[in-house]
Amino acid sequence: MSKAAATDRLIVALDVETVEAARALAATLGDAVSFYKIGMELAYGGGLTLAQELKDAGKRVFMDLKLHDIGATVERATRQIARMGVDFLTIHAYPQTMAAARAGAGDLKLLAVTVMTSYDDADLKEAGYAYGVADLVARRAAQAKAAGIDGLILSPLELVTIRPVIGPDMLLVTPGVRPAGADAGDQKRIMTPAQAIAASADHIVVGRPITRAADPRAAAQAIVGEIESALALGR
Ligand code: C5P
């Protein structure tokens, strides 16, 4: 599997309210960042147009839309997103949803969300599941691989347990990354960029440590530097 260059390993979460704010942030970051994540908040506020602009500017774009619906709808929605020419799309890791998205995706890479990190064992029980978090993550990771899904969104700590289960080829993408000494915010189980890369993450998703930094470009460059050092050490 070919590994992306250090800059390409960093995905910046454009978690801002307006397209104007996101556009200004991307302009500030310039060539320090090559890959952006657009989530639901921005997507529903004009972010689909912004995705196109970013693609036209030569950036890679991850649409974090977490699709989940009946198969026919997921397949057709995925096909529409694939037509935009973006790079990654998230879907929930239900077998029907994954099969449908696969049918509609073409070259668009699909990332499955196994279990939301805001859920613990008690939340899953409350929602009617027979599995705890660790078992359900492992089960859904195996189902995603069987469905031909390209990668998984995992918390940093799950990287370590899931990589051996799914093998080297699936992309592992992790949020919850904080540079050493940075404010963890509401992220509870964090790793540094270097630790996440060493733990076999293909891409790390970083939001506030860059988007709310006094100097976002310098913050992004520092993280890319950390990724470079980790890659030089072997991964
Ligand atoms: O600002 P921060 O670096 O915490 O942003 C992380 C990004 O990753 C946010 O867009 C957040 O919604 C997303 N994310 C997460 N944890 C998950 C799934 C997605 O933090 N389990």
DSSP state of 46: I
Q: Find out whether the beta carbon of 66 lies less than 6 Å from any atom of ligand 1.
A: no
Q: Which of 34, 37, 28 is nearest to 9 (CA)?
A: 34
Residue nearest to atom 10 of ligand 1 (CA): 13
CA of 175 to the centre of ligand 1 (A): 5
Tell me if 204 CB under 6 Å of ligand 1. no
Beta carbon of 47 within 6 Å of any ligand 1 atom: no
DSSP state of 117: T
10 neighbors 40 (Cβ within 8 angstroms): no
Task: Inform me whether the pLDDT recorded for 74 exceeds 50.
Answer: yes
How far does Cα 119 stand from its chain's mean position? 18
Residue with CA closest to ligand 1 atom 2: 207
Instruction: Specify the number of domains making up the chain.
Output: 1
Is 80 exceeded by the pLDDT of residue 136?
A: yes
Residue ID of nearest Cα to ligand 1 atom 11? 175
State residue 233's pLDDT score: 86
Query: What pairing do the DSSP bridges indicate for beta strands 10-13 and 151-153?
Result: unpaired
Question: Dihedrals φ, ψ of 30, to 5°?
Answer: 50, -135
Query: What mean pLDDT, rounded, does the chain reach?
Result: 94
Q: Is the minimum distance from the CB of 98 to ligand 1 under 6 angstroms?
A: no
Output the CA 206–ligand 1 centroid distance in Å.
Answer: 7
What are the helix and strand counts (H, E) for the chain?
12, 8
Which domain does 58 fall in, by range? Answer: 3-233
CATH of the domain at 152: 3.20.20.70
d(CA 156, CA 196): 6
pLDDT at 1 (0 to 100): 37
pLDDT, tens digit (0-9, with 9 covering 90-100), for 164-192: 989 999 999 999 999 987 888 887 778 99
Q: What single string gives the DSSP state of each residue in 126-169?
A: HTT-SS-HHHHHHHHHHHHHHTT--EEE--HHHHHHHHHHH-SS
Residue of 4, 2, 6 lying closest to 194 (CA atoms): 6
Rounded CA-CA distance 212/225 in Å is: 19
Ligand 1 atom, smallest distance to 177 CA: 3
Beta bridge partners of 152: 112, 172
- pLDDT at residue 2, as a whole number: 39
C-alpha–C-alpha distance, residues 22 and 206, integer Å: 15
Mutate to test the pocket of ligand 1, among 205, 206, 212, 223 (most ligand atoms within 8 A of CB): 205
